[in-house]
Amino acid sequence: MTIARRIGIIYAFIAASCLALVAWLAYHEFVEEPAAFAAMGAPNIHKDTQAELTTVCFLALIPVLLGLGWWWMRRAFAPLSELSAALGRSDPHGLPQPLPRSLKDSEADQFAAAFNDMTARLHRSFQQIREFTLHASHELKTPLTVMRVQLETRLQDKSLSPDEVEWLECELGEVLRLSHIVDSLALLAKGEAGQIKLERQPLRLDELVRESFDDARILAEPHQVRVTLDECEEISLPGDRHRLRQLLLNLTDNAIKYNRPGGTVTMALRRRNGAAEIEITNTGEGIPPELQPRVFERFVRGEEARRRAIEGCGLGLTICRWIVQSHGGTIQLSSDAGNKTTALVRVPVG
């Protein structure tokens, strides 16, 4: 309960008590006492009526003053309510938007000014981080490309021994992994900076899901995982075909990698409440409860991934969240430890 509401309840209780007291006093002074004197046949020796009326009116002013105090209190707390609402609407992408100020140099204005200064500094820091990530990714691409070409060229040498070939292939795998990390970081940095323009074109989402289902069955064969498509409604929507295909590939690849041998991956596409719902469920070991709130953060990987040396860099789900949010949708990941994990994507159809 807010402070304003608590004070309002106290004001209302006091005002109601004062009104009840005024009503009792008026009734006692003007009804009960005259009636008692009349019943006794005694002359009306009651106090002066004008003085009594003045006293009652004075007491009646108390709830009026309380009402005025409540009105002024509401006006005093209004800037705080506006600040609270503005803070609730703020997010990392909206940091440059300043909080409203009443320009009356009140405590609320001082708080808003301090908060605006802090968010401006944070925005500059985030901007510097994005620029650093972009520049670093760009600078790393060239040497990684040179290393990849040199290793691939060296592997074509027929005079290499099996041990040398194995060593070169291992080195090439690490270079490719670094290149994937650099590309993913560059994609996220450009996306957050608004430098990537999505190609919004009408497309059949059910066709994308069926294509991803076919790809998933091929990816699942080496892992002995069975992939099924429960339902796939015909749904059309405006979107970026390449990015949505990347989203489905990342989610199905995770569902296969983080599964157990002989497990299953279930895919479904349905229309619900004006949105397309994509549901992908696997039968893996699940995600620990303490890790679930952080699965969409960068470089977050569970103990299972490290223990089983599962290939990945912890950026796939972060990219998935960016793709879904860029299409105005939401993505959730729920997990039952030791049972199943479900990724639910909702994208508006309109």
Q: Average of pLDDT values for 124-153?
A: 84
Helices of type H across the chain = 3-27, 33-40, 49-89, 107-155, 162-192, 205-220, 241-257, 303-307, 316-326
Closest-CA residue to 151 (of 185, 182, 179): 179
pLDDT band at 60 (very low <50, low <70, confident <90, very high): low
| Rounded CA separation 294/43 (Å) | 86
Residue type, 157: D
Residue type, 146: V
Closest-CA residue to 23 (of 51, 49, 62): 62
| Rounded CA separation 133/51 (Å) | 82
Instruction: Give the highest mean pLDDT range of 5-14, 80-89, 245-254, 330-339.
Output: 245-254
What end-to-end distance do the CA atoms of the chain give, in Å?
A: 38
- Asked if 133 and 189 count as a contact pair (C-beta separation under 8 A), the reply is yes
How high does pLDDT run on average in the chain?
A: 80
Q: Would you say residue 203 has pLDDT above 80?
A: yes
pLDDT at residue 112, as a whole number: 76
| Rounded CA separation 106/97 (Å) | 20
Q: Specify which residues 227 forms β-bridges with.
A: 265
Q: Would you say residue 47 has pLDDT above 70?
A: no
Least confident of 35-39, 260-264, 336-340: 35-39
pLDDT at residue 244, as a whole number: 94
Closest-CA residue to 198 (of 128, 136, 232, 247): 247
Q: Average of pLDDT values for 330-344?
A: 87
| Cα three-residue angle 35-37-39, rounded to 5 degrees | 70
Instruction: Give the highest mean pLDDT range of 50-59, 69-78, 111-120, 296-305.
Output: 111-120
pTM: 0.64
Q: Would you say residue 77 has pLDDT above 80?
A: no
Task: Pick the more confident residue, 84 or 136.
Answer: 136
Residue type, 204: R
pLDDT band at 55 (very low <50, low <70, confident <90, very high): low
Q: Average of pLDDT values for 250-272?
A: 91
